[in-house]
Amino acid sequence: MTQALLCMSHSPLLDHADPPDEVKAAVEASFEHARTFVHDFAPDLVVNFGPDHFNGFFYDLMPPFCLGYRAHGTGDYDSYAGDLDVPASRAEDLAQFVIDRGIDLAISRRMEVDHGAVQPMEILYDGDAAAKPVLPVFVNSVARPFVPMSRVRAFGRAVGEYFRAVDERVLFIGSGGLSHDPPVPQFATATDAQREFLTAGRHPTAEARAARQAGTIETARKFAAGEADIMDLNPDWDREFLAVCRSGRVEGFDRYTADEMDAVAGHSSHEVRTWVAAYSALRACGAYEVTYEFYRPIREYIAGFAVTTAILNGG
Ligand SMILES: O=C(O)/C=C/c1cccc(O)c1O
Ligand SMILES: [Fe+2]
C-alpha cells in the first residue's frame, strides 16, 4: 500500500511547434525521467486530476470537480481518442467516500476528456492512455467561477484519505501548465458566437475543430516570435508555486486567488488546481518529498512547463 505523484504541464503544441533543439531535448529528458519513475513505481491504479478546455465540459453544466465512471478521449489536437480503462465500481466507491466528507463531487457516467487530461498517460505509456486502470478526475481550470483553492485542497485531501488505507500502488497525476494564457475564450469577454460555443460546443465539426487548433498553433508561433497579444509567461510565479509544492505544506496553496492568478499568471494558470489536488491527495497519505523537478518557460508551447515527481517519506 503506497502512493506516489507525478505532476506535469501539458501542451497541445508538443507536436505542433518547433522550439530550439536544446529545449526539445530538455523536455524529452524530463519525460524520460517521468517514465522511469512511473515504471519503477509500477502503479496498479492511476488517479488522474486533469482540466478540460471546452471539449468535454461546457457552461451548460460546469461542476468544480467531476469523477468519471466511464471516460472517452475526445482526440482534440490528435490526442488519445478512445475509451479509458476506468474501474467503475471503484469510482462509485471513491465518489461516495468523498461526498461523505462534505465535498460536493459531481460524477459522470459518460465523461469526455481532452488533451489536458490524457497527455501525461500518453507520454508515459507510448500513446496509450488506456494502458493502466485510471480514475479520471476533472478539475475545473478554465471556466469561472472557481472555487477557492482551499476547496481544491480539501477535495484532494478527501481523495487521498480514501487511498491511504487501500492495499494498492496508486499514482496521483496532476496535469496542467503553470503560468500561461493560451487563446481560450473567456465568457465575460466573448462574442455571442463564442458564448454559444462555450455553452454548448460539444462535438464540433471537423472544420470547426481544425480552425480552433490552427488558431492556437498560429498564436504559439507568434508568441515565440514576440508578436502575440497574449499575456507573457511568469517564471517567478511558476518558481514560487513549485516551491510550495516542494515545501510539503499544502496549506500554502490557499493564498492563491483566482483574480490574482488571472492578473499575474494568465487565465489558464488555474490548471495548477490539478496539481493542488494531486499534491493534497499525496499529503493526505503522509509527509512527502519531491524527488525530481524540471522547469522551463517555453513560449513555443505557451506554457510555464514543469514536471515533478514525489514519494512519501521513507517510501
Ligand atoms: O484548447 C486549446 O485550444 C489550447 C490549449 C492549450 C494551449 C497551450 C497550453 C495549454 O496547457 C493548453 O491546454
Ligand atoms: Fe491546458
In percent, the amount of the chain with pLDDT more than 90 equals: 99
Q: State the chain's mean pLDDT as an integer.
A: 97
Residue of 53, 72, 115, 270 marked active site: 115
Nearest ligand 1 atom to the CA of 53 is 1
Mean pLDDT of 207-226: 97
How high is the ipTM of this complex? 0.98
DSSP 12-73: TTTTT----HHHHHHHHHHHHHHHHHHHHH--SEEEEEE--SSSS--TTS--SEEEESSEEE
Q: pLDDT per residue over 101-139, tens digit each?
A: 999 999 999 999 999 999 999 999 999 999 999 999 999
What pLDDT is attached to residue 1?
60
Please tell me the distance between residue 75's alpha carbon and the centre of ligand 1 in angstroms.
Answer: 14
What pLDDT is attached to residue 241?
98
CA distances from 62 to 82, 237, 266 (A): 23, 27, 20
Hey, where are the domains in the chain?
A: 3-312
What pLDDT is attached to residue 314?
84
Nearest ligand 1 atom to the CA of 51 is 13
Please tell me the distance between residue 314's alpha carbon and the centre of ligand 2 in angstroms.
Answer: 33
Q: 10 pLDDT band (50/70/90 cuts)? A: very high
Residue of 10, 53, 72, 180 marked active site: 180
Q: Which bound ligand lies closest to the C-alpha atom of 183?
A: 1
Pocket test for ligand 1, best of 180, 194, 274, 299 (most atoms within 8 A of CB): 180
Strand boundaries in 44-180, DSSP class E: 45-50, 65-68, 71-73, 106-108, 111-113, 134-139, 169-175
What pLDDT is attached to residue 165?
87
Q: 87 pLDDT band (50/70/90 cuts)? A: very high
Protein residue closest via CA to atom 11 of ligand 1: 11
pLDDT reading at 192 higher than 90? yes
What pLDDT is attached to residue 303?
98
Mean pLDDT of 278-304: 98
CATH of domain 3-312: 3.40.830.10
180 is catalytic: yes
Q: pLDDT per residue over 233-281, tens digit each?
A: 999 999 999 999 999 999 999 999 999 999 999 999 999 999 999 999 9
Q: pLDDT per residue over 132-183, tens digit each?
A: 999 999 999 999 999 999 999 999 999 999 999 899 999 999 999 999 999 9
CB under 8 Å to 120, separation ≥6 — which residues? 6, 8, 10, 34, 48, 173, 175
How far apart are the C-alpha atoms of 6 and 290, rounded to whole Å? 10
115 is catalytic: yes
What pLDDT is attached to residue 59?
98
